[in-house]
Amino acid sequence: MDTWDGIETFLVTESMVLKHTAKLDPTVPSVDKLDFHVRYSVYSNMQIQAPPGKYYDQNTMPLEPVYTVRSLLLSALAVPLYYTALIFSISPIVTVSLFANPLFNALTCVIIFCFAVEVYGSKKIAFILSLLFGVCSFAWSYQTSFWTQPLQALTLITSAFFIYKSLHYSPSFLCHYLISNKSNGIYFAGLGGLFLGLSVFAHPTSIILVPGFIIYSIYHLRKNPRILFSFLVTVTITLFFIGLVNYLRFGSFTEFGYGYFASLQTHNGWRGLIGLLVSPGAGLFLYFPTSILLPLAAIYMNKENRSLFLLFMYIIVATWLSAGTLSFDFEPFSWWGTGWGPRYLLCILPFITIMLGSILSHIGKHTHMGKRIHIEKKTLPLTISFIALSVAGFCISLLGVLIWWQYDIVYVSEKEQLWNQDPWNLIVWNPSYSPIVLHTKMLMTDYLSHIDPQKYVDTGWNWIAYGSTPCSYDLYIFCNFGIAPVLFSLAVIAILGYCIGIQTGMFKISSKRLVFRKLYKSS
């Protein structure tokens, strides 16, 4: 997990299971296992939520359960994983860390696939886009975090998918069960409203996106009042429930526990607008290189599906403006959020990915469901660019997977001996200290194997023990069980990927094997 946010979220999960409360209980056992500074956590959350003029003394205040500002939905969804760990007598910390966000990202890939089939009518394009999001964007690097952005991305794209699906009925081998009859549009619209509300429960910044979804739904569903009514009623009920939970926790329907940090006064900067796009340490175009083609994709999608294009652009621009203008005298933390790439923009990656599908649709002429694609000569440069940028995205994201991003500060401070400078601004703005450069150096010099976590016990850097050191890579299975299970897992993944590739038409089957398959099915 990360050093703070994710641990607070996990401790709430543990409190739900062991103490039956949605508060962070400072007496849960993982506080000691993680050597977590729980007193400061209780203090900071109480101080943020305190009325104006009230101040707490961190050293003398009572250490009691407290509601945190972290995602209550994420904590709740991890409860089954925690119980699973108890049943099998394994570490809940490891179980939640290894399975929560990977599950959300995998489900997001599934939704991207189904959505792309609906929009472009091609399983091949849908498969490529799923891979693009899964392993060629910085979403991959958040597999072993417990931040809420992967869940927020999943709920937002799922909401958009079901709203769109409520009036479209393109079948696919993966989601054919959704098209039994057209009356299902009422249920799809209801699911769209439910997931839109849950996205606010996942992270309150989603509230700025609700107006765009509502306007799109009114336009998209205007000729089907029953379907539109289903969406509006469901989203209203869900948002009311979230407001009720807020009232029970913080005494206000609109308060999520952020206090001053949720006010418009914190949006008083502009550097983040640039940094979130092009900075060496947190730029979207650097950590998801294929997004460089987004302007071209926007032109194509605007011609093919204007209403969906406007919704997607609203989501992308509104999120960028909201995160990029954050300052509150705490830059670049305020708009960057730390992590691998622009973490606060992770929730818009599924929408960017689906928009990029318009380029693939333009590149090749294909028959229905993408059974065959021919690349035209005039689109060859665009094809090569798309492939090259995707490969670059894979390599860059892999660097974030193999090494935990928190070791950047250790490398800059100790290896580069830059104690007297602001290391975070160096990492974000100086190309020489970009995490991409730092991770490359750490891999080439096997730097992680020389870090001794015991050296930092009882220091402000005790979180170093949360990572994989002295193992050379941030791969739990490799570090604990060796290379054999890793190779076996990769083989299984390759076989599954090949089977899916055959189903989507990515790989051709020989005539003899095709006959065998037909005989097998008939038997």
pLDDT in tens, 462-510: 888 888 889 999 998 999 999 999 999 999 999 998 888 888 777 766 5
pLDDT band, residue 3 (cuts 50/70/90) = confident
Name the packing angle between helices 123-135 and 92-120 (round to 10°).
150
What's the whole-number mean pLDDT along residues 39-60?
A: 88
Q: pLDDT at position 23, please?
A: 95
Q: What letter represents residue 481's amino acid?
A: F
> How does DSSP assign 48-82, residue by residue?
HHSPTT----TTTS----B--SS-HHHHHHTHHHH
What's the whole-number mean pLDDT along residues 268-273?
A: 92
Copy the structure tokens of residue 255: 């308060």
Copy the structure tokens of residue 4: 């703070």
pLDDT band, residue 522 (cuts 50/70/90) = low
- Lowest mean pLDDT, pick from 165-179, 307-321, 502-516: 165-179
Output the CA torsion sign for 249, 251, 253, 256. negative
Within a 10 A sphere around the Cβ of 501, how many other Cβ atoms? 15
Copy the structure tokens of residue 316: 């992308």
Q: pLDDT at position 80, please?
A: 97
Map tokens 């407290």 to a residue. 66
Name the packing angle between helices 210-220 and 225-250 (round to 10°).
160
Q: pLDDT at position 177, please?
A: 45
pLDDT band, residue 373 (cuts 50/70/90) = very low
Q: pTM for the whole thing? A: 0.92
pLDDT in tens, 107-119: 999 999 999 999 9
What's the whole-number mean pLDDT along residues 14-31?
A: 96
Whether the predicted pLDDT of 137 surpasses 60 = yes
pLDDT band, residue 100 (cuts 50/70/90) = very high
DSSP state of 415: I
pLDDT in tens, 31-44: 999 889 999 999 99
Q: Residue 293: which of 399, 229, 388 has the closest Cα?
A: 388
What's the whole-number mean pLDDT along residues 48-76?
A: 89
What's the whole-number mean pLDDT along residues 231-257?
A: 94
Contact between 441 and 14 (Cβ < 8 Å): no
What's the whole-number mean pLDDT along residues 333-360?
A: 94
Whether the predicted pLDDT of 302 surpasses 70 = yes
pLDDT band, residue 521 (cuts 50/70/90) = low
- Lowest mean pLDDT, pick from 140-154, 177-191, 255-269: 177-191
> Of the spans 59-63, 161-165, 378-382, which averages the highest pLDDT?
161-165
> How does DSSP assign 440-456, residue by residue?
HHHHHHTGGGG--GGGG
pLDDT band, residue 518 (cuts 50/70/90) = low
Whether the predicted pLDDT of 176 surpasses 60 = no
Burial readout 382-416 (b: 16 or more C-beta within 10 A, e: otherwise): beebbeebbebbbebbbbbbbbbbbbbbbbbeeee
Name the packing angle between helices 92-120 and 349-363 (round to 10°).
40
User: What is the rounded CA–CA span in Å between residue 85 and residue 233?
Assistant: 38
What's the whole-number mean pLDDT along residues 93-119?
A: 94
DSSP state of 365: E
Copy the structure tokens of residue 224: 């089907």
Q: Give the CA angle between residues 223, 226, 229 to the nearest 5°.
A: 100
Whether the predicted pLDDT of 30 surpasses 50 = yes
pLDDT in tens, 377-392: 667 889 999 999 999 9
What's the whole-number mean pLDDT along residues 288-298?
A: 96
C-alpha distances in angstroms, 55 versus 44, 60, 69? 11, 12, 18
What's the whole-number mean pLDDT along residues 412-437?
A: 87
Q: Residue 94: which of 507, 466, 443 has the closest Cα?
A: 466
Whether the predicted pLDDT of 174 surpasses 50 = no
Write the Ramachandran bin of 255: left for phi over 0, alpha for psi from -120 to 50, otherwise beta: beta
> How does DSSP assign 97-145, residue by residue?
HHHHHHHHHHHHHHHHHHHHHHHH-BHHHHHHHHHHHHHSSGGGGGTT-
What's the whole-number mean pLDDT along residues 414-439?
A: 87
Mean of all residue pLDDT scores within the chain: 89
Q: pLDDT at position 436, please?
A: 96
User: What is the rounded CA–CA span in Å between residue 455 and residue 369?
Assistant: 58
Q: pLDDT at position 75, please?
A: 96
What's the whole-number mean pLDDT along residues 405-409?
A: 90
